[in-house]
Amino acid sequence: MASPTLISDTEPWKELKAHMEEIKKTHLRNLMSDSARCQSMMVEFDGMLLDYSRQNVTLETVNKLYKLAEAAHLKEKINRMYNGEHINSTENRSVLHVALRAPRDAVINSDGKNVVPEVWKVLDKIQEFSERIRSGSWIGATGKALTDVVAVGIGGSFLGPLFVHTALQTDPEAVECARGRQLRFLANVDPIDVARNITGLNPETTLVVVVSKTFTTAETMLNARTLREWISSALGPSAVAKHMVAVSTNLALVEKFGIDPNNAFAFWDWVGGRYSVCSAVGVLPLSLQYGFSVVEKFLKGASSIDQHFYTAPFEKNIPVLLGLLSVWNVSFFGYPARAILPYSQALEKFAPHIQQVSMESNGKGVSIDGVPLPFEAGEIDFGEPGTNGQHSFYQLIHQGRVIPCDFIGIVKSQQPVYLKGEVVSNHDELMSNFFAQPDALAYGKTPEQLQKENVSPHLIPHKTFSGNRPSLSLLLPSLNANNIGQLLAIYEHRIAVEGFIWGINSFDQWGVELGKSLATQVRKQLHGSRTKGEPIEGFNFSTKTLLTRYLKASSD
Ligand code: F6P
């Protein structure tokens, strides 16, 4: 018998559907009272601890999820990824971001060729270049050292590097290495973003790094031309050679733009944009800011998780467990969202990065074979650091919709504050909330408890918490470059696991194309109307009305 195309046609899926009806009858309060169960839901790796005991699962559920993984051929799919097979079938590409952080002596093939030496050739070039810039041996057109960097890029060419940069900003070693330097990111084509980025910068001391996999992205290219103009109008056109470099897979377009190909840092089509932070996309700007040795630790952290993901049995495999639990929450419980709640201000850009990795990867409506999915795949990712989020959207999470939460905590603060006379340190205060919130969500508060507290009867419905809201906790020993790399790789692989189970292609992104092509039509119309007074044609009533108003009001 031919194997079913859709995972939802398999027996393990159907069994999980039926099992979910049983699980629904058990409150997390009861599940949490079984210490043996909780103990089995703690997984350790390299000093970090994952606790998934506050998920609506029993040991039976987890075993059924392993069966689902088997039915989805999860292990084979992971192997195919690591073996460089073209698992991104709609673009006919391998998916090898793991090769970007592999040790120098590793062998990872794509199309019959070991790609690791090429990866290290670029890493060595970045190390050499960043040392020249940082030491002042590469100087700008007027003889000044280039102390400031603006990285121009959007989407995957921006969000990952911004997340890592923001996280490293509190690591004492990284802070020391970054002394006297600035790194800024220009992503939005909104001229306000240009203004914000160049305010206070001197072109004489600025290096612009244009980051674009395709080197065709409209926003990035316009921003790159804007900064090229900023440099050449201040320092003359020849200054571009000293003040602009590029990161891209499209070296021909880099050269056409006017950047010396020797000052371009390559990557490859087997690196998806949203998985590119460990390529020159992230490594170059971050090495310029912090030095290559700090960034190398970040790469090593990611690589340690790549090994763990590849080799650990499923019951000890953090990305696999997280991926399976997400599928359980989304596809069986029907919870559409996931909140990412790091109790660490340094991780404030983590949720925005994971939003792209997850939603661009798994926001799909058809299977990898093009069959419409009879179930919802993907989830809505959002989040804020705690405790800020508690004072924003947690009300809804506690008493409104059920949103599975990821709580991420750090054992040791890198910037501790101990005030005399305070009950606890500032970090203990933060972490008190990290430990309290998952229990508030899981246990809730019953009307009976409220009655015992003599709460007025009319307030009891308002003060009742239903509880039974799933979360998981990930406790990291600290937040240095290594752990940041680990956290990134855990989420990258978790998202791949979800896609592998759902049977979708997590590595293409056709859904971003339609809007881009319609914008091309509008751009042409705006140009024609402004320069030749062409009438607005080819749009529906609504768009025509809006465009007419925009053109009229903006030319008044
Ligand atoms: O529009 C989406 C997207 O294609 C992302 O996948 C990508 O990360 C981003 O645009 C930027 O693309 P590029 O690096 O080619 O400029």
DSSP string, 365-383: SB-TTSPBPSS----EEE-
- Give the Cα separation of 308 and 318 in Å (integer): 8
Q: Ligand 1 centroid to 512 CA: how many Å?
A: 9
Nearest CA to ligand 1 atom 1: 512
**Is it the case that residue 2 has pLDDT exceeding 90?**
no
Q: What is the best residue among 217, 279, 353, 358 to mutate for testing ligand 1's pocket, by most ligand atoms within 8 Å of CB?
A: 217
Q: What is the best residue among 88, 90, 154 to mutate for testing ligand 1's pocket, by most ligand atoms within 8 Å of CB?
A: 154
The finding on whether 212 has its CB within 6 A of some atom of ligand 1 is yes
Given its phi and psi angles, is residue 346 left (phi above 0), alpha (psi -120 to 50 degrees) or beta?
alpha
Here the tokens at position 506 are 């997590």
Q: Are 183 and 288 in contact (CB under 8 A)?
A: yes
Ligand 1 atom closest to Cα of residue 156 = 8
The finding on whether 361 has its CB within 6 A of some atom of ligand 1 is no
The finding on whether 519 has its CB within 6 A of some atom of ligand 1 is no
Catalytic entry in 24, 256, 516, 527:
516
- Give the Cα separation of 7 and 74 in Å (integer): 11
**Is it the case that residue 329 has pLDDT exceeding 80?**
yes
Q: Give the angle 177-178-183 at the CA atoms, nearest 5°.
A: 150
The finding on whether 276 has its CB within 6 A of some atom of ligand 1 is no
Mean pLDDT value of segment 242-249: 97
The finding on whether 214 has its CB within 6 A of some atom of ligand 1 is yes
Catalytic entry in 360, 379, 492, 498:
360
Residue 26's pLDDT band (cuts 50, 70, 90):
very high
Q: Ligand 1 centroid to 511 CA: how many Å?
A: 12
The finding on whether 512 has its CB within 6 A of some atom of ligand 1 is yes
**Is it the case that residue 85 has pLDDT exceeding 80?**
yes
Q: What is the pLDDT of residue 31?
A: 98
- Give the Cα separation of 120 and 281 in Å (integer): 14
Mean pLDDT value of segment 53-62: 98
**Is it the case that residue 120 has pLDDT exceeding 90?**
yes
- Give the Cα separation of 190 and 188 in Å (integer): 5
Q: Are 233 and 203 in contact (CB under 8 A)?
A: no
**Is it the case that residue 276 has pLDDT exceeding 80?**
yes
| Total residues belonging to the chain | 556
Q: What is the pLDDT of residue 186?
A: 98
Phi, psi of 204 (to 5 degrees): -65, -25
User: Which residue pairs from 221-229 have beta carbons closer than 8 angstroms and sit at least 24 positions apart in sequence?
Assistant: 221/257, 222/189, 223/152, 223/186, 223/187, 223/189, 223/193, 223/194, 224/152, 224/257, 226/194, 227/150, 227/152, 227/186, 227/194, 227/198, 228/258
* Complex ipTM: 0.98
- Give the Cα separation of 230 and 499 in Å (integer): 43
Ligand 1 atom closest to Cα of residue 360 = 6
Residue 1's pLDDT band (cuts 50, 70, 90):
very low
Q: Which residues of 117-130 are buried (b: 16+ CB within 10 A; e: fewer)?
A: eebbebbebbbebb
Q: Are 236 and 204 in contact (CB under 8 A)?
A: no
Ligand 1 atom closest to Cα of residue 217 = 16
Q: Are 60 and 19 in contact (CB under 8 A)?
A: yes
- How does pLDDT run across 478-535, given as a tens digit for each residue? 999 999 999 999 999 999 999 999 999 999 999 999 999 999 999 999 999 999 999 9
Ligand 1 atom closest to Cα of residue 273 = 8
Mean pLDDT value of segment 278-297: 98
**Is it the case that residue 3 has pLDDT exceeding 70?**
no
Q: Ligand 1 centroid to 250 CA: how many Å?
A: 13
Ligand 1 atom closest to Cα of residue 509 = 6
Contacts of 236 (CB under 8 A, 6+ apart): 141
The finding on whether 213 has its CB within 6 A of some atom of ligand 1 is yes
Residue 96's pLDDT band (cuts 50, 70, 90):
very high
The finding on whether 319 has its CB within 6 A of some atom of ligand 1 is no
The finding on whether 217 has its CB within 6 A of some atom of ligand 1 is yes
Q: Are 96 and 270 in contact (CB under 8 A)?
A: yes
Catalytic entry in 391, 412, 524, 527:
391
Beta strands in 307-404 (DSSP E): 337-342, 380-382
* Catalytic residue status for 91: no
Q: What is the pLDDT of residue 555?
A: 81
Q: Ligand 1 centroid to 483 CA: how many Å?
A: 26
Q: Ligand 1 centroid to 274 CA: how many Å?
A: 8
* Catalytic residue status for 516: yes
- Give the Cα separation of 350 and 536 in Å (integer): 42
**Is it the case that residue 556 has pLDDT exceeding 80?**
no
Phi, psi of 88 (to 5 degrees): -85, 80
Nearest CA to ligand 1 atom 9: 155
Q: Ligand 1 centroid to 219 CA: how many Å?
A: 10
Q: Are 443 and 27 in contact (CB under 8 A)?
A: no
- Give the Cα separation of 144 and 146 in Å (integer): 6
Q: In the structure, how many helices (H) and strands (E) does the chain have?
A: 23, 13
Q: What is the best residue among 254, 509, 513 to mutate for testing ligand 1's pocket, by most ligand atoms within 8 Å of CB?
A: 509
Q: What is the mean pLDDT of the chain?
A: 97
Q: Are 352 and 382 in contact (CB under 8 A)?
A: no
Cα 338 off chain centre by: 13
Nearest CA to ligand 1 atom 16: 212
Please count the other Cβ atoms lying within 10 Å of the Cβ belonging to residue 39: 9
Please count the other Cβ atoms lying within 10 Å of the Cβ belonging to residue 241: 14
- Give the Cα separation of 442 and 453 in Å (integer): 20
Report which DSSP code applies to 429. H
Q: Ligand 1 centroid to 495 CA: how many Å?
A: 18
Here the tokens at position 399 are 């008493």
Q: What is the pLDDT of residue 4?
A: 52
Nearest CA to ligand 1 atom 6: 273
The finding on whether 529 has its CB within 6 A of some atom of ligand 1 is no
Q: Ligand 1 centroid to 156 CA: how many Å?
A: 6
- Give the Cα separation of 27 and 336 in Å (integer): 20
Mean pLDDT value of segment 18-43: 97
Q: Ligand 1 centroid to 517 CA: how many Å?
A: 14
